[in-house]
Amino acid sequence: MKIIDFRVRPPLKGFLDMVMYSNGERRDRFTRQLGLEPAPSAVERSMPLLLQEMQAVEVVHGVITGRTSDFFGSVSNEDVAAIVQEYPGRFSAIAAIDPANRKAAIAQIDAALAQGFVGVTIEPGAYPVPIYADDRKLYPIYAHLEDRNVPVVIMTGGNAGPDLSYSNPIQLDRVAGDFPNLRIAVSHGNWPWVSEIIHVAFRRSNVYVSPDMYLYNMPGMDDYLRAANGFLADRFIFATAYPLVPLKAYTEWFVKLPLKPENMQKCVYQNAANFLGIAP
Amino acid sequence: MKIIDFRVRPPLKGFLDMVMYSNGERRDRFTRQLGLEPAPSAVERSMPLLLQEMQAVEVVHGVITGRTSDFFGSVSNEDVAAIVQEYPGRFSAIAAIDPANRKAAIAQIDAALAQGFVGVTIEPGAYPVPIYADDRKLYPIYAHLEDRNVPVVIMTGGNAGPDLSYSNPIQLDRVAGDFPNLRIAVSHGNWPWVSEIIHVAFRRSNVYVSPDMYLYNMPGMDDYLRAANGFLADRFIFATAYPLVPLKAYTEWFVKLPLKPENMQKCVYQNAANFLGIAP
Amino acid sequence: MKIIDFRVRPPLKGFLDMVMYSNGERRDRFTRQLGLEPAPSAVERSMPLLLQEMQAVEVVHGVITGRTSDFFGSVSNEDVAAIVQEYPGRFSAIAAIDPANRKAAIAQIDAALAQGFVGVTIEPGAYPVPIYADDRKLYPIYAHLEDRNVPVVIMTGGNAGPDLSYSNPIQLDRVAGDFPNLRIAVSHGNWPWVSEIIHVAFRRSNVYVSPDMYLYNMPGMDDYLRAANGFLADRFIFATAYPLVPLKAYTEWFVKLPLKPENMQKCVYQNAANFLGIAP
């Protein structure tokens, strides 16, 4: 079964400066807290090892995402583009923006699209000045993305911002309602607000849900899966959030979850491909 | 087993102008998203068919509710009263109000009660100008209802308003605490905030919970049922929210849920009768 | 298996003036609403009976907590200290404060510590003037506790304040993030916001979770237990909240829950001992 990993951060270029690589001890503690063992490729920061791990579980394609953040560390679109180019066909690129200036952000988006980026990410609570997903600063940007039919990956789950309020899906729901033709995927699945994001996705057919590692034996896991086996079968997107969890072990665990075979297929491949408009 | 359906919208008069009948395609998509098939009576807008469907599952009585809304469409109290009169013994009527002017709203209530209405509904987020359940505009109205011992059905679940914040039970909890002698039933069960509304009902003995269709294989289903089998056995109220789900199939599914027989009996009949002070 | 009960209110001194003893009818209704029978010791307000009940289930030690509240009733630190002294080795004491004046509160803390108190409690929503856990009034107090390495028990679950907003863990999360070296145990486990407090505890290693009676067949029970069997094994703390539930029956029920034996051991004894720095 061919698999797309919707959130993977390879041990290359700017990613190596992010906390998840620069502070390996912190990352491994996080991984172990989930009950998993760190990936050899993460510990050794080895791209060849990661490619082996991907191959071992048929992850044929990974989505890599730029980032603008003080806390987590930033990764430039240039670095992301360079990685995609270096490993042809292996990765798709999502562009980061700096929301501080709307004109500059829109220029960033247009430049990225011209370069082959397949989408844009917004990480409201992770920006140097944290904001909520419905911040006015972001509305011209959402409008631009909707008008150009560019999908957006919004990271509003887990440690999405300075505190728990940044993962509450209320603001995300407003955005999804105000831009009904904007395709939105929520990374980290707005965890821990599981019932709430499932409601949002039930109400808003433009919302895709990608809970990645926060599915792993965490509260809400059964609810995410019930939705993925029901109304969300076409909008649930598999991801690992590697290197925070080991890509190989997490994928092996995921594919054995009790989803109907046709839904599993969609969740690990087709939904991501449809969302991004790619066919890897 | 005789059953009262606490939320039913027959295909008659003003209901036919509501989105749920005027846009059948939208309604059927909603029904199918839940994993159910639209009711023949809904598709054909046939009252004789609905009466057959009710009879087939021993739904001997239905509660029908007026509405003041731009988005969903409005149904006048006059229409509701006419339906009740046309089908004697078959339905009880809940009056809508317009909260914009408190004196007019109170006059509406008193007129409705004089006409035989058995309760009043408040739908804060669905009004032309959406408000929260604890809006000051509503407090004189709640006070009037409490003073006259009139039960109120508050709709603060599901798509209760412009966004997810309108279903959060925090405001509802304040109302229940501020009017401890006001009997309140929450329609759509404040879904998706399931743990939270169960807490509110645990704390406030004047709160009845009626999750209707949002129980159907949705997150929180098991928690609603556990409560209905425990402390909430006397305050859990069955409803279908027909025509959004097929009354017959939904009722057949519900009566097989793992509630103790004595609790099932209460949930599908006695609790609604007690709440409204009726004996159909 | 030796057990520490992290929240017990013996029928002595100031506790007898609290609502939970002064209004036995209300307390027993609460207990029965949970599906339990009131403890004989609670009904008879008998300390010898309570000691027997503790012994019957190997509760070798109880944590008793002062309180500053109009609604629940207050218990002075003097009363708490006197009880600890009267039953040597049997109880540890947690000091209440009055947050209205920060200098007086800090003086209260220092006096209590000098007297042998092992921690301090903050009950933001229960104070005569309810506040949230991240109220500015409390920040100098948290700073003082962090600087002196004093653990704090924050009560932000269940009926924590005038309404449901007082148990929402957003404010608690801010406090835990702003004082990373302050050991915090949340009493009543921020119920009903179960997924949310589990996220907070996942993110903040200084947060201990003690859901006490709100674990009892309530929504979220399975999630609390899954966490206690996983990443929270060293930070989940057993408590009864006696006399709101019968200490003996609740403890008998709890020790049969499906926790791994080594985790059960930690949850009922070692975690509380570590948190408070005691070895009873």
ipTM of the complex: 0.96
* Peptide bond just before C192 cis, omega within 30 deg: yes
* The predicted structure's pLDDT at residue A71: 87
What tens digit of pLDDT does each residue of A133-170 get? Answer: 999 999 999 999 999 999 999 999 999 999 999 999 99
* Beta-carbon separation of B220 and A195 below 8 A: yes
CA distance B92 to B273: 10
Provide mean pLDDT across the span B165-174: 98
* Interchain CB distance below 8 Å, B164 and A195: no
CB-CB contact of C238 with C58 (8 Å): no
Mean pLDDT of A195-206: 98
B170 in A contact zone (CB under 8 Å): no
Q: ω before C211 within 30° of 0 (cis)? A: no
**Single-letter residue type at A80:** V
Q: Which positions in chain A touch B28 (Cβ < 8 Å)?
A: none
A164/C198 touch (CB, cutoff 8 Å), yes or no:
no
On whether any CB of chain B is under 8 Å from the CB of C164, the answer is: yes
Nearest to C198 among A165, A168, A219 (CB): A219
* Residue B185: predicted pLDDT: 98
A165 CA to chain B: closest CA distance, Å? Answer: 13
Q: What is the pLDDT of residue A143?
A: 98
Taking phi over 0 as left and psi of -120 to 50 as alpha, with beta for the rest, A73 belongs to left
Tell me: pLDDT of C138 over 90. yes
Predicted confidence band at A280 (pLDDT cuts at 50, 70, 90)?
confident
Give Cβ neighbours of residue B72 (< 8 Å, ≥ 6 apart). Answer: B18, B19, B20, B126
Contact B198 C219 (CB under 8 A): yes
- Looking at residue A227, its pLDDT comes to 97
Subunit contact C231:A194, Cβ cutoff 8 A: no
The per-residue pLDDT for range B232-259, each reduced to its tens digit, is: 999 999 999 999 999 999 999 999 999 9
Q: What is the pLDDT of residues C28-81, one digit of tens each?
A: 999 999 999 999 999 999 999 999 999 999 999 999 999 999 888 999 999 999
What is the predicted pLDDT for the residue at C71?
A: 87
Q: For chain B, say whether C230 makes contact (Cβ under 8 Å).
A: no
Q: What is the mean pLDDT of residues A233-262?
A: 98
Tell whether C165 lies on the interface with B, counting CB pairs under 8 A.
yes
For chain A, list the contacting chains (3+ Cβ pairs, <8 Å).
Answer: B, C
Q: How far apart are CA A232 and CA A201, in angstroms?
A: 8
For chain B, the domains span: 3-276
CB B7 within 8 A of CB B224: no
How far is residue A275's CA from residue A237's CA, in Å, rounded to a whole number?
9
| Contact: B173, C158; criterion CB under 8 Å | no
What is the distance in angstroms between the Cα of B165 and the nearest Cα belonging to chain A? 6
List CB contacts (< 8 A) between C169 and chain A.
164
Q: How far apart are CA B56 and CA B146, in angstroms?
A: 37
Q: Could you say which DSSP state residue B186 is in?
A: E
Residue A158 to residue C220, Cβ atoms within 8 A: no
Helix, strand, or coil (residue B121):
strand
**Residue B166 distance to chain C (closest CA, Å):** 14
* Mean pLDDT, residues B189-211: 98
pLDDT score of C280: 86
B171 at interface of A, judged by CB pairs closer than 8 A: no
Decide if pLDDT at B71 tops 90: no
pTM for the structure as a whole = 0.97
Within an 8 Å CB–CB cutoff, is residue B196 touching chain A? no
For B80, list phi and psi in degrees, rounded to 5. -60, -45
For chain C, give the percent of residues with pLDDT over 70: 100
Question: Domain A3-276 sits in which CATH superfamily?
Answer: Metal-dependent hydrolases (3.20.20.140)
Q: Identify the closest residue of chain C to B227 by CA–CA distance.
A: C218
pLDDT for the residue numbered C187: 98
> What tens digit of pLDDT does each residue of C243-252 get?
999 999 999 9
Does A199 lie at the interface with B, CB-CB under 8 angstroms? yes
